[in-house]
Amino acid sequence: MMTLDDFRAARRTLDGVLHRTDLMYSPFFTRTTGNHVYIKPENMQVTGAYKIRGAYFKCSTLSEEEKERGLVTASAGNHAQGVAYAAQAAGVSATIVMPTTTPLVKVNNTKDYGARVVLHGETFDDAAALAAKLSEEEGLTYVHPFDDLTVSTGQGTIAYEIFKDLPDVDAILVPVGGGGLAAGVSTLAKLLNPSVRVFGVEPSGAASMKASLEAGRVVTLDKISTIADGVAVKTPGGQVFPYIQKNLDGIIAIDDGELVDAFLDVMEKHKMVVENAGLLTIAALKHLDFQGQNVVSVLSGGNMDVITISSLVQHGLINRGRIFTFSVQLPDRPGELLRIADLVAKLNGNIIKLDHNQFVNINRQAGVELKVTLEAFGLSHKAEILDALGREGYQVREVAASGTITG
C-alpha cells in the first residue's frame, strides 16, 4: 500500500537529495486557457527529471544483499538516469536496458553516472523483457520504472511540494506512461485534500492507460506511435493500476502535433527546454472543461537531444506559418527572380532559401520552377504573401514540410 507514513518516509529520504523546483506562475498560459496556471518544473530536477525521486527512494529501501547483487532496470531514459544516479551514490553497480530509439542525451547521461547501458528493441516493453531476463540470469535486483509501489511513493512526493507552494490548488495535471507518477501524485494529493482533482495526460498514439481504465483492467496495446518517448508504454503497471482507478479523476489524450506547439510556447514564454512527455500537461491545458481554477502542470523532464530540439523548432515554426515554402513556375528570362524577391520584400517576408530549377521542363522556354523558403510573422502574414503573389498572376503552390505540394 501507499500510506501517508510511506510518503513521509520518502520525503525524509529525499531531503537534501533533490533540487527545489518551486511552482512558477505562468501569465501566458493563464491568459490563453482561462485558468490560473502554475508550472512544476521537474525538468530542472537532479538528472533532469522527476524519476530521481522514485529511483532514489527505492534504492534506499533495498537490503545490502539486494544492492550487492547489482541493480538492473529498463527505461526510455529518465528512470535510467535516476537508477544510475542512486546506484552511484550507494556504490553499487547498475545495468540499464534502453530502447534503441532512446535519445542520445539520455543514453550518454546514464553512462556518465557509471551505469552499464544495453540498447535493445524499439519500445520500452522490448527493453523491459530483456531487463527481466538479465535479472533472472545474472541475479540482478530489478528496479521497475513504474510498476512498483515504493517507486511510485517516491514520485508522489511532488504533491507535498505542490501543496506547500499552492495550498488552494484545484487541479493537478500529470503525464501518464506506465502510471507510477500518476498513481503516486494522485494518491498523496487525495490524502492531503480529497477535493483536489488530478488528471492524467497521455499521448493519443500510446493511450494504454486510457484503454485500461475504459476496460476496467490493464490491457496491452498492439502498437504505439508517439514522439513522447518517455511515456511510450504498451502495458500500464498492474500494481499501480488500482490506485489510478481510485484516485485519478480522468485521462486526457493529446496528439503529437499539440506537443510541437507546446514546445514552442514553453521555450518562448518560459525559456525552458521540456521533453515531449513533459509537455503533455501543457497541451492538456486547452482541453480542460473548467475555468478560473488554480491548475498545476507537472513538467516531468527536460532530457532532449539537440537534433530533437531542432526538429521540434522547425515543425513548430512551420505549423504556425512562421516558415513556409512555395513553388511557382516562371518564364525563363532575366528579371523574373528579382520580381518575386521584390514582391516578397515589400510585404516584409524574409527569404532564407531559393531553389531555381531550370530543368523541371524539357522545354526550358515553357518555364522554370522556383522554390522559395521564407520567414513570416504567422499564418495571416503567410496568407497575405501568397494572396499577393496570386494577384500578380503567379500560380503559387505551397510546398509541405515533407516535400509534397499542397493547395
pLDDT recorded at residue 35: 98
pLDDT recorded at residue 404: 40
Radius of gyration of the chain (CA): 25
301 by DSSP, 3-state: which?
strand
pLDDT recorded at residue 363: 59
Q: What digits encode the pLDDT tens for the residues 33-50?
A: 999 999 999 999 999 999
Q: Are 320 and 264 in contact (CB under 8 A)?
A: yes
Largest CA distance in the chain: 82
Query: Which residues are paired to 295 by β-bridges?
Result: 37, 171
DSSP state for residue 47 in the 8-state scheme: G
Q: Are 6 and 60 in contact (CB under 8 A)?
A: no
**56 vs 42: CA distance, rounded Å:** 15
Q: Are 200 and 252 in contact (CB under 8 A)?
A: yes
Residue appearing with cell numbers 513556409:
324
φ/ψ (deg, to 5) at 197: -105, 140
pTM across the whole model: 0.88
Q: In this structure, are strands 94-98 and 171-175 parallel, antiparallel, or unpaired? A: unpaired
Residues 6+ apart with CB under 8 A from 309: 273
Catalytic residues: 51, 300
Q: What digits encode the pLDDT tens for the residues 128-184?
A: 999 999 999 999 999 999 999 999 999 999 999 999 999 999 999 999 999 999 999
Mark out the alpha helices in 271-333 (DSSP H runs).
276-283, 306-319
Q: Tell me which residue of 245, 259, 184, 240 sits closest to 210, measured CA to CA.
A: 245
In which residue ranges of the chain is pLDDT below 70? 359-366, 401-407
pLDDT recorded at residue 117: 96
What domains, with CATH codes, occur in the chain? 4-45+158-316 (3.40.50.1100), 52-142 (3.40.50.1100), 321-406 (3.30.70.260)
Q: Are 332 and 373 in contact (CB under 8 A)?
A: no
